[in-house]
Amino acid sequence: MTKITFLGAGSTVFAKNVLGDTMMTPALQGFELALFDIDKQRLKDSEMMLNNLKRTTGSACVIKAYDDRKEALRGAKYVVNAIQVGGYDPCTITDFEIPKKYGLRQTIADTVGIGGIFRNLRTIPVMLDFAKDIREVCPDAWFLNYTNPMAVLTNVMNTYGGVKTVGLCHSVQACIPHLFDNLGIDKEGVQAKIAGINHMAWLLEVTKDGVDLYPEIKRRAVEKQKEKHGDMVRLEMMLKFGYYITESSEHNAEYHPYFIKRNYPELIERFNIPLDEYPRRCVNQIERWGKMRDELVNDANLTHQRSHEYASYMFEAMETNVPFKIGGNVMNTGLITNLPREACVEVPCLVDRSGVTPTYVGDLPPQCAALNRTNINTQLLTIEAAITGKKEHIYHAAMLDPHTSAELSMDDIIAMCDDLIEAHGDWLPQYK
């Protein structure tokens, strides 16, 4: 029996998408779906939910929950990672509230920025523990990482974990539908080329029947910006830098130094930026979980439709050798020639029985590469901090972050980092 292991299986909604998709894929019938989570109740919830789905779909997959992570991984052919270290309380609260005392505001704080740095620092040791187990009990497994911060964690697993890892994000699939629906353009038959880094990949080409659609997109974007809407930052970045970005406006508002500024509070209103957005989502999700739990866990008639998540399509391609194209996060190795080779990049990849084969992109437009590098700087220094255990590299990562450095002095950045290290306590390794 071939095994797919899901780490963080207590993420019940996401487990339904990825493993529900798997259960509905003919080529994957008979697989063991191995579930592991440190939250035993949430693990049991997901097990019950998937068994309900197994009955309603008639799937021949076998659902099995594990108390022991290494046993869950043993013999796995594929591993899906969807963990969050530290959760909303206390770690997400800490990531937002301490910077706020210094006047540094955030929206999502899970990728770069000060919140992204500290989410990385508490997650990397856990990921390297996963890698140690994988090397021991399933060394040939493909590791599909869905956990943010995507670029750094995928980089660490490839560079220091010794595990075949590809990072997967929803933003590539959602890019064209979101842009075209927002601007009222028909998206059927559109061809696109996307590359860059996670959450800041670029819609480099967008055509239909050989016609470049960018002139019409930009014409409509100018008009759209005259009204309040939920994607104002991305449209503004496209109009100023020439290309649309894959990830949402609330994310990109904090990736750049242009939008969230204490001395220009009118920008928050002008670009409709939702400060403290992620904590609000967490609170709402926690409040909704009681009802959602009933709908997912206790519904004996639960059904599922295959989602847009890449995972099951990748498993299917590797099992059947019928190629499938994804937007994957992989090590650069010269794929994007004007970004650092040691960076993790997001590029089109071909998946088949031989694994994940990234495609060569070449140079990005120079302004796009320059913006990517501002975020890569922080990513690479964060990795340096995690691997060496040197506190000075945490300071370096934070001082190089575009939004943080635009708002705070170097002394305040260092003081803020020290406060965050102390507040995280046992969630962080000791830094010297």
Q: What is the pLDDT of residues 298-349, one digit of tens each?
A: 999 999 999 999 999 999 999 999 999 999 999 999 999 999 999 999 999 9
Q: In terms of residue numbers, what domain contains 413? A: 381-427
What span, in angstroms and rounded, lies between the C-alpha atoms of 53 and 172? 28
Q: Which of the listed residues 212, 244, 270 is the one where a domain comes to its end? A: 270
Mean predicted confidence (pLDDT) in 156-167: 98
Q: Are 10 and 72 in contact (CB under 8 A)?
A: no
Q: Which of the listed residues 270, 297, 321 is the one where a domain comes to its end? A: 270
Counting every residue, how long is the chain? 432
169 is in an annotated binding site: yes
CA–CA distance from 132 to each of 36, 141, 157, 354 (Å)?
16, 13, 10, 24
Say if 45 falls within a structural domain. no
Which pLDDT value is given to residue 291?
86
Which pLDDT value is given to residue 429?
87
Q: pLDDT, tens digit, for every residue of 9-47?
A: 999 999 999 999 999 999 999 999 999 999 999 999 999
129 or 1: which carries more pLDDT confidence? 129
Mean predicted confidence (pLDDT) in 183-203: 98
Mean predicted confidence (pLDDT) in 153-162: 98
Mean predicted confidence (pLDDT) in 101-127: 98
Task: Please provide the average confidence, as pLDDT, over all residues in the chain.
Answer: 97
Which pLDDT value is given to residue 57?
95
Q: Is 170 a catalytic residue?
A: yes
Inter-axis angle of helices 391-400 and 113-137, to 10 degrees? 130
Which pLDDT value is given to residue 343?
98
pLDDT confidence bin for 432, thresholds 50/70/90 = confident
Q: Which of the listed residues 255, 270, 285 is the one where a domain comes to its end? A: 270
Residue 153, pLDDT above cutoff 80:
yes
Say if 286 falls within a structural domain. no
What span, in angstroms and rounded, lies between the C-alpha atoms of 245 and 339? 17
Say if 416 falls within a structural domain. yes
Say if 251 falls within a structural domain. yes
256 is in an annotated binding site: no
pLDDT confidence bin for 143, thresholds 50/70/90 = very high
Mean predicted confidence (pLDDT) in 207-228: 98
Long-range interactions of 415-423: CB distance < 8 A, separation 24+: 415/102, 416/98, 416/99, 416/102, 416/104, 416/114, 417/114, 417/391, 419/98, 419/101, 420/94, 420/95, 420/98, 420/99, 420/114, 420/118, 421/391, 421/394, 423/90, 423/94, 423/98
Number of other residues whose CB lies within 10 A of the CB of residue 248: 19
Say if 414 falls within a structural domain. yes
Amino acid at 345: V
Which is nearest to 78 in space by CA: 328, 355, 375?
Answer: 355
Say if 25 falls within a structural domain. no
Say if 15 falls within a structural domain. no
Q: pLDDT, tens digit, for every residue of 254-305?
A: 999 999 999 999 999 999 999 999 999 999 999 999 889 988 999 999 999 9
What span, in angstroms and rounded, lies between the C-alpha atoms of 424 and 426? 6
**For the chain, how many structural domains are there in total?**
2
182 is in an annotated binding site: no
Which pLDDT value is given to residue 430?
86
CA-angle at 110, arms to 148 and 370, nearest 5°: 90
pLDDT confidence bin for 1, thresholds 50/70/90 = confident
Residue 8, pLDDT above cutoff 80:
yes
Which pLDDT value is given to residue 290?
85
Amino acid at 80: V
Say if 112 falls within a structural domain. no
Percent share of the chain, pLDDT over 90: 97
Mean predicted confidence (pLDDT) in 45-50: 97
